């Protein structure tokens, strides 16, 4: 019996016809990461801006305020000149600046804008006195607050962090479980969803008197209010995420023999996680506003209490320092939440445009 001629299905496929063997398309040069070469010109402009801020602070005398002067003016000017010297070294080193240069280069325009804004602030307050003290204080007053009142400010920050962490954890967990329950169960969707839509939009701060009346302590009342502010957006977005999962996902899992718990834990929840993180971001912003209100009303420590204490003593520089700490704290928590989201949703890379 003669050997059969090989058919077209037996012939080896050329790399041009095999998708897995095709060469990856070339990345346009504009999207390729380029190592820094030569002198960093934006950094040189930033050097001039920071040096100008330092010279302005040191050479221009402050406008007198009674029988005293703004403390730490010389230290602030020297610090600006030190930043200018650091940026000059990074700008001249170019690619040899290493990790520090790689981190500073993307923020080049901000490194120019920051000293210009600080110089305007310095002019309007300490140099020209157009913004009258004590309601407006120059930048060096923040250094004075950190140097003189760092213990009270640090203790208040620690108390606020503890209160915020407890409220966020309780509210996020309760909101996530409630949202998944509503999105999965028809009974919960019938009974709980209308209550959530009716009571959810009520601001948590509006329940402040009731919280302080029923809670055993002012701290537990503040934790309840922060948790309530976090609960609503997390619950709504979790419910929306579970309810919007395509039915084809469930059909495929059931065909492979998946149980109900498997559908909830391994299909519904992972598919709803992107919207859950959106709810966490919204809850974080809402919890900060409630945190300050709750601490102003009854808590004996915290940044909200510190703001009220500083206002009572007309220490407006301390108020500005507390506001700056709150801004840094909120920004850091948002950055941390972004990092957690990128780790948890790493499976989406390549399928979702980030």
| Per-residue model confidence (pLDDT) at position 27 | 43
Q: 100: Cβ–Cβ under 8 A, 6 or more apart, which residues?
A: 90
pLDDT tens-place values along the chain, 354 residues long: 444 444 443 444 444 444 443 444 444 443 333 445 578 999 999 999 999 999 999 999 998 876 567 889 999 999 999 999 999 999 998 888 888 888 899 999 999 999 999 999 999 999 998 998 878 999 999 999 989 899 999 999 999 999 999 999 999 999 999 999 998 988 988 888 888 888 778 888 788 788 877 888 888 888 999 999 999 999 999 999 999 888 888 888 888 888 888 998 989 999 899 999 999 999 998 898 888 888 887 677 889 899 989 988 888 899 999 999 999 999 999 999 999 999 988 876 655 555
CB atoms within 10 A of CB 137: 24
pLDDT confidence of residue 204: 82
Could you give the C-alpha distances from 143 to 8, 51, 253, in angstroms and in order? 80, 19, 60
Q: In whole angstroms, what is the distance from residue 340 CA to residue 2 CA?
A: 66
**pLDDT 10s digits, 63-81:** 887 656 788 999 999 999 9
Q: End-to-end CA distance of the chain: give it in Å, rounded.
A: 61
From the CB of residue 214, how many other CB atoms can be counted at a distance below 10 Å? 11
pLDDT, residue 117, reads: 97
pLDDT at residue 77, rounded to an integer: 96
Domain with CATH 1.10.3720.10 in the chain: 140-348
Q: Which of 137, 68, 166 is nearest to 324 (CA)?
A: 137
- Three-state DSSP at 7 gives coil
The two three-digit tokens of residue 196, written as one number = 């959530």
CATH 3.40.50.1580 describes domain 140-348: no
Cβ neighbours for 222, distance < 8 A, ≥ 6 positions apart: 163, 167, 211, 291, 294, 295, 298, 299
pLDDT value at residue 341? 92
pLDDT of residue 43: 93
Nearest to 122 by CA among 134, 131, 113: 131
Angle, vertex CA 262, rays to CA 280 and CA 175, nearest 5: 25
What distance in Å separates the CA atoms of residue 112 and residue 47, rounded to the nearest whole number? 8
For residue 217, the model assigns a pLDDT of 84
Distance, CA of 122 to CA of 124 (rounded, Å): 6
């Amino acid at each position: 019996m003669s050997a059969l001629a090989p058919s077209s299905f037996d012939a080896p496929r050329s790399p041009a016809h095999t998708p897995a063997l095709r060469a990856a398309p070339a990345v346009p040069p504009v999207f390729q990461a380029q190592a820094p070469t030569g002198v960093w010109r934006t950094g040189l402009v930033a050097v001039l801006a920071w040096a100008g801020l330092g010279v302005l602070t040191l050479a221009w005398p402050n406008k007198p305020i009674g029988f005293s002067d703004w403390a730490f003016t010389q230290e602030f000017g020297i610090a600006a000149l030190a930043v200018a010297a650091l940026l000059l070294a990074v700008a001249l080193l170019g690619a040899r600046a290493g990790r520090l240069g790689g981190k500073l280069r993307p923020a080049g325009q901000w490194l120019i804008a920051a000293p210009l804004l600080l110089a305007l602030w310095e002019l309007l307050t300490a140099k020209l006195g157009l913004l009258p003290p004590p309601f407006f204080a120059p930048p060096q007053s923040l250094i004075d607050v950190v140097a003189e009142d760092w213990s009270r400010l640090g203790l208040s920050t620690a108390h606020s962090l503890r209160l915020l962490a407890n409220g966020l954890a309780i509210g996020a967990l309760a909101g996530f479980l409630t949202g998944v329950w509503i999105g999965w169960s028809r009974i919960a969707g019938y009974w709980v969803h209308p209550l959530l839509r009716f009571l959810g939009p009520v601001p948590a701060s509006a329940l402040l008197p009731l919280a302080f009346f029923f809670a055993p302590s002012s701290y537990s009342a503040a934790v309840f209010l922060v948790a309530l502010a976090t609960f609503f957006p997390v619950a709504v977005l979790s419910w929306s995420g579970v309810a919007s999962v395509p039915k084809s996902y469930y059909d495929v899992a059931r065909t492979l023999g998946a149980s109900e718990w498997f559908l909830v834990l391994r299909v519904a929840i992972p598919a709803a996680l992107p919207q859950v993180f959106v709810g966490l971001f919204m809850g974080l912003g809402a919890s900060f506003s409630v945190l300050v209100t709750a601490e102003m009303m009854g808590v004996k420590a915290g940044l909200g209490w510190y703001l009220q204490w500083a206002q009572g003593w007309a220490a407006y520089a301390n108020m500005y320092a507390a506001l700056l700490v709150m801004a840094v704290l909120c920004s850091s928590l948002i950055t941390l939440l972004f990092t957690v989201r990128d780790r948890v949703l790493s499976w989406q890379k390549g399928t979702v445009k980030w």
